[in-house]
Amino acid sequence: MKKIDKHIEEQVEKTLGAFDGIERARPKPFLYTRLQARLESKDEHSLQTRILSPVLQRLAVIMIMLVIVFNIYTATRFFISPAATDSLSNSEQLFVEEYYPSTPTLYNISQLTINP
Amino acid sequence: MINLKVKVNDVMGNTDHILVEELKNGDEGAFRQLVDDYQDKVFNTCISFVKNADDADDLTQEVFIEVFKSINKFRSDAKLSTWIYRITVNKSLEYLRKMKRKKRSAIFNWISKEDQESKLQVPDFDHPGVLAENREKARILFDAIEKLPEKQKIAFTLHKLEDLSYEQIAEIMQKSLSSIESLMHRAKNNLQKELYDYYNS
């Protein structure tokens, strides 16, 4: 039993000394060239993002503005008071008549109040 | 003898100071010199932690890019080598944590099982600088180091594989000399236990 313990101890000590006489590992040749290429590509990438992101930001703002302007335009064009319909063209008047009728239809007859 | 050591340190300090000033001025020649001077130290430290030559090469490049980008933050009163070693250790540990996170998330993702097996299983690692007759034992020792707590692992690796003194390790890890001595003592005890269990099983 003691013999086995001693053998294990020896193995442990030998293993702990496995790094004795170790030499430094060296990188593959031309590290500087590879590093330079990487630095250049990083510069290029950051330059692209620096240029592209403001362009994309501006495009997004323009798109949002266009959507808002379109909404305002359609709202003012079609959702107007009946008094203003006189100034509309025939087709526009037909459109207003169809969607905003001045006389009650079967769909909204239930909402009417009947005077006794 | 002591005077000579002080003089050598003075000369080294001055050389570092000049190099740092040139780097801060964007001198490409100075950067090339820095890479030439430190590439072996950085690569050896990286490979000792990550145990893969390609990843270590990649990390070495990242260390120098970091040095290049943040040289203006470097304080002139600090030692250049200490600063570079600190960046190297941090990058290596960052890489190991990233790999651990990937491994953990891959456990829940059965789709990437194959990828996980091919990428994350640490193969038996042979450090290129280990003597041929010690290769088998070195492999066992590397496996045991892997099981040490992080700070013990850093101290032991820098001392045994990069041959740094306790004083240098204390500067790199920003700890007192006595705490490095204590870390090394605990690391050796833990390794002995780990290896005893290994040979006993």
Q: Enter the pTM of the model.
A: 0.71
Predicted local distance difference test score (pLDDT) of residue A104: 60
Q: Is B109 helix (H, G, I), strand (E, B) or coil?
A: coil
Q: Does A16 reach chain B within 8 Å, measured CB to CB?
A: yes
Predicted local distance difference test score (pLDDT) of residue B4: 47
- Interface mutation vs chain B, best among A2, A16, A20, A24, most B CBs within 10 Å: A24
Report the candidate in B157, B193, B160, B200 with the shortest Cα–Cα distance to residue B56. Answer: B157
Distance CA A17, CA A10 (A): 11
- Span between the terminal Cα atoms of chain B, in Å: 50
The answer to whether B64 contacts A21, with C-beta atoms less than 8 Å apart, is no
**pLDDT tier at B107 (50, 70, 90 boundaries)?**
low
Report the candidate in A31, A43, A28, A30 with the shortest Cα–Cα distance to residue B69. Answer: A43
- Interface mutation vs chain B, best among A9, A10, A12, most B CBs within 10 Å: A12
Distance CA A37, CA A45 (A): 12
Distance CA A60, CA B102 (A): 35
Query: Measured between beta carbons, which residues in chain A are less than 8 angstroms from residue B188?
Result: 16
Digit-coded pLDDT (tens) for B122-148? 457 899 999 999 999 999 999 999 999
Distance to chain A for B13, nearest Cα, Å: 24
Predicted local distance difference test score (pLDDT) of residue B122: 45
Distance CA B86, CA B172 (A): 5
Would the CA dihedral through A33, B42, B47, B147 be positive or negative?
A: negative
Distance to chain B for A56, nearest Cα, Å: 27
Predicted local distance difference test score (pLDDT) of residue A71: 87
Please, are residues A22 and B129 in contact by the beta-carbon 8 Å criterion? yes
Structure tokens given for B170: 């204390």
Distance CA A113, CA A109 (A): 9
Least CA distance to B32: which residue of chain A?
A32
**What is the Cα B200 distance to its own chain's centre?**
31
Q: Is B111 helix (H, G, I), strand (E, B) or coil?
A: helix
| Residue, of B92 and A97, whose pLDDT is higher | B92
Q: Does A75 reach chain B within 8 Å, measured CB to CB?
A: no
ipTM attached to this prediction: 0.79
Please give the radius of gyration of chain B, using alpha carbons only, rounded to the nearest integer.
19
